[in-house]
Structures are given as structure tokens and as C-alpha cells.
Amino acid sequence: MSGTPAWFVPVLWVGIAGQYVPGVANQVTLARAYLAAPALLYALHGEFGALAVCVALAGLTDMVDGTIARRFGSPSQLGGGLDPVVDGLFMGALVLGLAWGGTIPWWLAFVVIWRYFLPALAGGLLLASGRRPELRHTLTGQISTTLILVLIGGVCLLRGLHQDYSGLLLGAEVVIPLATVATYVHLFVATARHPAVK
């Protein structure tokens, strides 16, 4: 648990930087980052009812931020880049807390973290090399995020209700790695078809 306070550093940074992020949709997206700290603490301390609510709120913001951006005519490259980074921050905090608390295996937590970290790293390297990748969602990326939220959130809910969650966890252990691989393959194909602009 010694690494727990370190997870609050990016959350704090997002909170400070969030004051300067324009747009209602982007602020809705940032709500997931703000939920990362309570998600981590609830997971660590076994507060699964509160954690299930936290995951549901994060899922709701993930569903509506794009709709809000389109409704108010403000989709942007910033929003396109912010969304997966915030997803990774929230999901990372959630699964780290669950792994530390013994609810999910560590290897599954690392799969979820790498699901978000590897594309963010690739995008960062492209930006560092002077290229401007087109930031847009892929279908497999959206599906994998939804599956992670539903499966991990479902485990939290069942634990909160004191029900057997082993079957759902087994499903997560199969589905999440497959969805992650599908996301990587789709991103690779999409990048090959639409190379980043210099």
C-alpha cells in the first residue's frame, strides 16, 4: 500500500490543470479523474457499495461527455486526447485498489493498466516526434472500456451485496485480455491506414 499516495499525484495534477480546461464536455470527462481517488480508497478499504456507485458515475460520464460535446458543437482534439487519459487514470486507480485489496488478481490489474497506458505512450511518442496523430475513438476501444467498467463494476456490486462474484471475475479474466488485444490490433490497423500528420 506504500504506493497508494503516489496515485493521488496525477489526480491532484488533473484537479489543478482542470481549472484551465475549456468546455463543459471536457469538465464532464474530468469528473472521472476526480473519481479516481475515492475509487482507489473505496477499493482498498472494501467499501464495495460506495465503489459500485463510483464506477457507475464514472461510466455515466464516459457515456455522456461525447454527446455533450456534439450537442454543444464543441468536439475537439483536446477532448479526444483527454478522454482516454482520464479513462486510464480512473481505471488504473480502480484496479490497483482492487488488486491491493485482494478482490482481483494482480495480473488482471496490469492488463487493464496496460490497456490504457500503451496507447497513451504511443500517442505521446508520436507527439514528441513532431507528428500529430488523429485523436478519435475506435469501436474496439469503446467496447473494451465498456466491458471493463461493466465487469469490474459488476464484481464490486456483487461484493457489496455479499453475493458470489467468482463467475463474473472469471468472465473478466477471459474477456478483458481479449478485448485489450482486439483494441491494440484495431489501433495498429487504424494507424497504418491513417498515418499521423506531420
The gap from C-alpha 83 to its chain's centroid, in whole angstroms, comes to 8
pTM: 0.76
Say what the pLDDT of residue 116 is.
Answer: 85
What gap in Å lies between CA 65 and CA 39, rounded to an integer? Answer: 20
pLDDT below 70 — which residues of the chain? 1-26, 64-70, 72-81, 122-137, 190-198
Cell readout for 171 is 468472465
What gap in Å lies between CA 39 and CA 62, rounded to an integer? Answer: 15
Say what the pLDDT of residue 198 is.
Answer: 37
Say what the pLDDT of residue 158 is.
Answer: 92
Say what the pLDDT of residue 16 is.
Answer: 53
Domains in the chain with CATH codes = 4-193 (1.20.120.1760)
Alpha helix ranges (H) inside the chain = 4-17, 24-44, 48-71, 77-100, 106-128, 139-160, 166-193
Say what the pLDDT of residue 93 is.
Answer: 93
